[in-house]
Amino acid sequence: MSAKPGIQGFFITGTDTGVGKTLVAVALTRAFVARGLRTAVMKPVAAGVVQTSDGPRNEDALELLAHSNVDAPYEDINPWLLTTPASPHLAARHDGVSISHERILAAHRRLTARADLVLAEGAGGWLAPISSQATMADIAEKLALPVIFVVGLRLGCLNHALLTREAIRSSGLPFAGWIANKMASEMPLANANIETLASRFGVAPLAIVPAGAAPASGAAPSWADEAANKLVSA
- CA-to-CA distance for 76 and 111, rounded, in angstroms? 7
Q: What is the C-alpha R_g of the chain? A: 17
Catalytic residue (one of 4, 21, 43, 142)? 43
Known active-site residue 43: yes
Q: What is the largest CA-CA distance in the chain?
A: 49
Phi-psi category of residue 183: left, alpha or beta, with phi > 0 → left and psi -120 to 50 → alpha: left
Residue 226 buriedness (CB in 10 A; 0-12 / 13-18 / 19+): middle
Catalytic residues: 43
